[in-house]
């Protein structure tokens, strides 16, 4: 006997006629909504996010919905590192052992009992998080989801030590993040889960803070976003008014200024508690850092896929002004480099040479004025490229523009498949050495560049090996 199809043609007709008013409206709201989200989906594919989830969020029963949201981001091609906190869970374990938590400067003092409690809490939480990612019930957002979670000894720690007479024992700080191993794992499609634990080279375990781990990891990976899912709604516009609106976007300079006026935080609810990590991350090359309230359902999705988002985003406003050069920039570049050509720091370049090579340049622009530039000259036959004409205006030197330009040029070189980047300099050797370049003999230069090398100028050649991101 033939199996009956669940719906005959007539069934469908009946269903169509029985549609509720809501389902008639749905296609008209869903399609425009989905299209409105599309630019964000395109923009974030392949980007790296480090997301820190406060232990309080898990204690408040938010884990499952949060994992569902992360899984959606993962399915959209984002590379994810999740760092969990465990303050309330450790406190609970300690209470079960009849001990009280001891804190100084907002950091737990990890005596042997607290270390035990932390290890137990971390083990339990990892188990719960892995279980949450393994769900796949039909008719839930996790149906068909396949997120593989990878954990490991990715963090090296060092002790906090004795500060102002307080011995923090096994409380530690991140010393090093194995960014290559994490990068390999996320590039292979896994989600990396980090607990706030690290080991010293002698194998001793250290209890770290979620904030330190997340920030150090985001910086090491040069992540596109660092997100803290926290117990606070964000940073208030007026610090004296707890009811004032949330500042949705703070320029890094403003966030720095605000931090200077705030007392050292001791509680996660203190304004400076997460903000200082956001500032640190942005200062170290993470483009955007966010403080989001875990209490808002879908806060992560709202922040990523809507224009205004929720919570507070700290952004390095200078990043917005770093871009590739166009023909309109030739005049500005000439004006910028001219004084350095005159005093012999830079080799002279003609206008027509810059016009011809303008696509090799990146510039830093504020309010229509060029404050910095650098160029990338490729030598594909030797799989290397030269960074030339790196210049920052004396008006804005020492604020990191030089470093940002270098990073951009490195990025462009990597994207073009070069294995190394070299520079020729007579006066800035140490600046480059500090940033990973090593001196080599001019004989090292690619043949085509060697022919142009000015032996009288005796420029030092420095090379940096590029590791693919």
Return the DSSP state at 258. Answer: H
Helices 271-283 and 210-221: angle between axes, nearest 10 degrees: 20
Query: 409 vs 283, 403, 405, CA distance in Å?
Result: 19, 10, 6
For ligand COA, the closer of residues 236 and 256 by Cβ is 256
To ligand COA, the closest distance from the beta carbon of 390 in angstroms equals 4
To ligand COA, the closest distance from the beta carbon of 199 in angstroms equals 31
To ligand COA, the closest distance from the beta carbon of 404 in angstroms equals 7
To ligand COA, the closest distance from the beta carbon of 430 in angstroms equals 4
The residue count of the chain comes to 469
Q: What's the rounded Cα separation, in Å, for the pair 397 and 257? A: 20
To ligand COA, the closest distance from the beta carbon of 385 in angstroms equals 14
Residue (of 159, 186, 183) closest to 170 by Cα position: 159
To ligand COA, the closest distance from the beta carbon of 136 in angstroms equals 48
To ligand COA, the closest distance from the beta carbon of 398 in angstroms equals 5
Binding site for ligand COA (CB under 6 A): 340, 345-346, 390-392, 397-403, 423, 425, 427-428, 430-431
- Which residues neighbour 330 within 8 Å (Cβ) at sequence distance 6 or greater? 351, 354, 355, 358
In this structure, the dihedral spanned by the alpha carbons of residues 205, 210, 211 and 212, taken in order and rounded to 10 degrees, is 20
Q: What's the rounded Cα separation, in Å, for the pair 374 and 407? A: 11
Contact by Cβ (8 Å): 257, 320: no
To ligand COA, the closest distance from the beta carbon of 440 in angstroms equals 15
Give residue number: closest CB to ligand COA.
402
* Number of other CB atoms surrounding residue 21 within 10 Å: 7
What six digits make up the tokens of 383?
Answer: 């799989």
Query: 400 vs 178, 190, 264, CA distance in Å?
Result: 25, 33, 26
- Which residues neighbour 34 within 8 Å (Cβ) at sequence distance 6 or greater? none
Residue (of 230, 223, 213) closest to 79 by Cα position: 223
For ligand COA, the closer of residues 266 and 345 by Cβ is 345
For ligand COA, the closer of residues 89 and 391 by Cβ is 391
Residue (of 280, 211, 275) closest to 247 by Cα position: 275
Q: What's the rounded Cα separation, in Å, for the pair 121 and 305? A: 33
Q: What's the rounded Cα separation, in Å, for the pair 204 and 155? A: 12
For ligand COA, the closer of residues 235 and 406 by Cβ is 406
For ligand COA, the closer of residues 126 and 407 by Cβ is 407
Give the angle 326-331-333 at the CA atoms, nearest 5°. 75
Burial class (CB in 10 A: 0-12, 13-18, 19+), 454: exposed
For ligand COA, the closer of residues 309 and 402 by Cβ is 402
* Number of other CB atoms surrounding residue 26 within 10 Å: 12
For ligand COA, the closer of residues 264 and 397 by Cβ is 397
For ligand COA, the closer of residues 119 and 396 by Cβ is 396
Contact by Cβ (8 Å): 400, 317: no
To ligand COA, the closest distance from the beta carbon of 63 in angstroms equals 41
For ligand COA, the closer of residues 57 and 346 by Cβ is 346
To ligand COA, the closest distance from the beta carbon of 395 in angstroms equals 10
Q: Which residues pair with 53 in a beta bridge?
A: 84, 229
For ligand COA, the closer of residues 303 and 316 by Cβ is 316
What six digits make up the tokens of 317?
Answer: 């406003």
To ligand COA, the closest distance from the beta carbon of 429 in angstroms equals 7
């Amino acid at each position: 006997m033939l199996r009956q199809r669940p719906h005959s043609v007539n069934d469908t007709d009946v269903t169509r006629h029985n549609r509720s008013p809501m389902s008639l409206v749905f296609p008209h709201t869903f399609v425009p909504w989905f299209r409105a989200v599309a630019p964000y989906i395109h923009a974030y594919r392949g980007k790296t996010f480090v997301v820190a989830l406060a232990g309080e969020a898990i204690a408040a029963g938010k884990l499952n919905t949060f994992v569902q949201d992360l899984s959606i981001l993962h399915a959209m091609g984002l590379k994810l590192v999740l760092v969990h906190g465990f303050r309330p869970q450790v406190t609970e374990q300690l209470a079960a052992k009849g001990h009280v938590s001891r804190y100084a400067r907002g950091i737990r003092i990890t005596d042997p009992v607290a270390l035990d409690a932390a290890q137990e809490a971390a083990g339990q939480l990892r188990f719960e998080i892995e279980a949450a990612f393994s769900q796949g019930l039909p008719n839930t957002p996790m149906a068909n989801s396949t997120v593989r979670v990878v954990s490991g000894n990715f963090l090296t720690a060092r002790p906090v030590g004795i500060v102002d007479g307080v011995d923090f024992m096994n409380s530690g700080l991140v010393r090093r993040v194995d960014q290559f191993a994490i990068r390999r794992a996320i590039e292979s499609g896994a989600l990396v889960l980090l607990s706030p634990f690290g080991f010293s080279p002698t194998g001793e375990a250290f209890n770290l803070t979620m904030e330190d781990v997340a920030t150090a990891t985001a910086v090491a990976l040069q992540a596109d976003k660092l997100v803290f899912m926290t117990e606070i709604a964000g940073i208030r516009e007026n610090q004296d008014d707890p009811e004032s609106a949330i500042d949705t976007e703070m320029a890094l300079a403003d966030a720095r200024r605000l931090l200077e006026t705030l007392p050292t935080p001791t509680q996660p609810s203190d304004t400076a508690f997460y903000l200082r990590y956001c500032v640190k991350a942005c200062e170290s090359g993470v483009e955007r850092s966010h403080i989001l309230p875990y209490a808002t359902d879908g806060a992560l999705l709202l922040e990523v896929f809507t224009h205004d988002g929720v919570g507070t985003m700290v952004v390095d406003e200078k990043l917005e002004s770093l871009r590739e050069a166009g023909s309109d920039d030739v005049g500005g570049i000439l004006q910028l480099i001219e004084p350095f050509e005159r005093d012999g720091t830079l080799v002279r370049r003609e206008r027509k040479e810059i016009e011809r090579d303008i696509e090799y340049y990146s510039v830093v622009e504020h309010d229509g004025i060029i404050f910095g530039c650098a160029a990338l000259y490729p030598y594909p036959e030797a799989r290397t490229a030269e960074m030339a004409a790196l210049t920052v205006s004396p008006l804005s030197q020492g604020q990191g523009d030089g470093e940002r330009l270098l990073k951009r040029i490195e990025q462009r070189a990597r994207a073009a498949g070069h294995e190394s980047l070299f520079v020729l300099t007579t006066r800035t050797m140490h600046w480059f050495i500090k940033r990973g370049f090593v001196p080599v003999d001019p004989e090292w230069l690619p043949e085509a560049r060697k022919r142009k090398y000015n032996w009288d100028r005796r420029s030092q050649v420095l090379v940096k090996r590029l590791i693919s991101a």
